[in-house]
Amino acid sequence: MGFDTLHDFLGELERFGELHRVQAEVDPLLEVAAVTGRVSRLPGGGPALLFERVKGAAVPVATNLFGSFSRMALALGVPSLDALSGRMEELLAQLPPDQAALGLAALPHLDEFRRFAPVVTGGGGCRDVVEDAPDLGRYPFLQSWPGDGGRFITLPQVFTSDPESGAPNCGMYRVRIFNGNRVGIHWYAGSGAELHWREYRERGERMPVAVALGGDPAAMVAATLPLPGNVDEMQFAGWLRGSPLEMVRCRTNSLLVPAGAEMVIEGFIEPGETAPDGPFGNHTGFYMPSAQVPVVRVACITRRSDCICPATVVGPPPAEDCFMAKAAERLFLPLVRRRWPGITDINFPLEWIFHGGAVISVSAAGEGDVRRLVDEACAAGMLGSARIVVVVNDDIDVRDLPRVAWRVMNMADWRSDLFVDEGRGTPPLPWLGGRLFIDATRKGPGPPVFPEIAMDGSVERRVEERWKEYGF
């Protein structure tokens, strides 16, 4: 049934031995990030971290919350991330035939999905303390890398709404702290919030914005997903957690935010007001250049009396955001399979910046049509911004990268099985153009000229039965 608050989730992590409390005082400028980065590179992703004493602030900081497969699964209430694919398959199976092709865009018409619509309540823990004279400088927002333009909120849920219909949107965009009552939000072209911002600007109206921190982990994950514009991220979070989220209306605008949030920053964007947000050390392992971003004038801050500030530290993989992306990979796999039945599995390897490259397996039905499958999946955005796509047969586990590499070496004919799409660069590496396809599937009918070696099955079974006799 999910977690009502971040505190509940941290309690569960501690119960499973997945939380480490740092009691020494730590500086939010670089030091918290350095500790987090070192822990996240430990085998298995290390534990989640709760920094109880942060220099210059009375509020603790929690990092690496989702930095392992086990914690991601725990956050979403599933035994493993693979179970997310099964849950999505069950949901999509309820779509009527005439709407099946719409995929996620058809969910609002589905009874099973409608029952997870958010519930509006009159209050919540996020209203324990109200600050009508906001001062963001009192809070332990991080600077993660030496070249960053300043401090950033890196795990926010940014709430906006359509000025005409009032339809809500929630996305996760980095938020630059300019001073005590001004922040900049770096949303991406074509994102829901960016479209809302353009509409408000064209109307000459100021735009209400709310930035929520914490709450149920399902809401944080939903904010990262590229959902269709007609799907409410908080309703999707309700489906993920198995029960509707409780929402509360902001004090200074009409936006709804999670009642269980740790903190809510409310404000407005004046038409056309922007400022440079400074460089930012991104998950590519490189600094993204400064950009002009909309400025939010903060009207008030509300928070829990025992507020904890969640943060993530992005940088070269492996890092916490890699595991969040893995949840998205498993959720969207059923959509890919339904649209292209020849595709059986997908892996966005952490080593390839998780959506910078993809390994795809195809069934026998898809072997002869690899280029079309990949072209269509890329055009539909199902492969994110993958710059390299490797296709193998479905007898290979796409997550077994050594065997994938072995198949590439033995199956790809460099004269005919490499394709380069010379398109413009897209995130995560927008300065580099093109996409490389490697077809490492078997070619032609019948067995290959050089058959793949394999031990006799009866001998394998005999060895398995006698294994202890051999002294192992």
| pLDDT tens readout for residues 84-94 | 999 999 999 99
Residues with Cβ within 8 Å of residue 260, at least 6 apart in sequence? 4, 5, 6, 124, 125, 126, 214, 215, 216, 245, 246
User: What's the mean pLDDT in 466-472?
Assistant: 94
Provide the 10 A C-beta neighbour count for residue 463.
12
Is residue 250 located within the same domain as residue 374? no
Do the beta carbons of residue 176 and residue 267 sit within 8 Å? Answer: no
Write down the pLDDT at residue 214.
Answer: 96
Q: Nearest to residue 370, comparing CAs of 328, 329, 412, 426?
A: 412
Radius of gyration of the chain (CA): 24
Is residue 88 located within the same domain as residue 223? yes
String of DSSP letters for 58-95: SS-EEE-TT-SHHHHHHHTT-SSTHHHHHHHHHHHTTS
**Domain, as residue range, for 383:** 340-439
d(CA 337, CA 359): 14
Is residue 10 located within the same domain as residue 136? yes
Q: What CATH number should be reported for the domain holding residue 358?
A: 3.40.1670.10
Do the beta carbons of residue 220 and residue 260 sit within 8 Å? Answer: no
Is residue 409 located within the same domain as residue 276? no
Q: What CATH number should be reported for the domain holding residue 301?
A: 2.30.110.10
Is residue 283 located within the same domain as residue 356? no
User: What pTM value is reported for the model?
Assistant: 0.92
- Mean pLDDT, the chain, integer: 92
| pLDDT tens readout for residues 108-138 | 989 999 999 999 998 889 999 999 999 999 9
Is residue 373 located within the same domain as residue 267? no
Residue 283 located in a structural domain: yes
d(CA 250, CA 264): 8
**Residue recorded with tokens 């530290």:** 313
Is residue 299 located within the same domain as residue 229? yes
Q: Is the pLDDT of residue 377 over 90?
A: no
Residues with Cβ within 8 Å of residue 232, at least 6 apart in sequence? 108, 117, 118, 167, 168, 170
Is residue 281 located within the same domain as residue 381? no
| pLDDT tens readout for residues 208-225 | 999 999 999 999 999 999
Is residue 55 located within the same domain as residue 160? yes
Is residue 100 located within the same domain as residue 169? yes
Write down the pLDDT at residue 2.
Answer: 80
Is residue 264 located within the same domain as residue 398? no
Angle (deg, nearest 10), helices 320-339 and 217-224: 60
- Pick the last residue of a domain from 267, 291, 310: 310
Residue 57 located in a structural domain: yes
**Confidence band, pLDDT 50/70/90 cuts, at residue 471:** very high
Give how many domains the chain has, as a whole number. 2
| pLDDT tens readout for residues 39-50 | 999 999 999 999
d(CA 423, CA 420): 9
d(CA 392, CA 390): 7
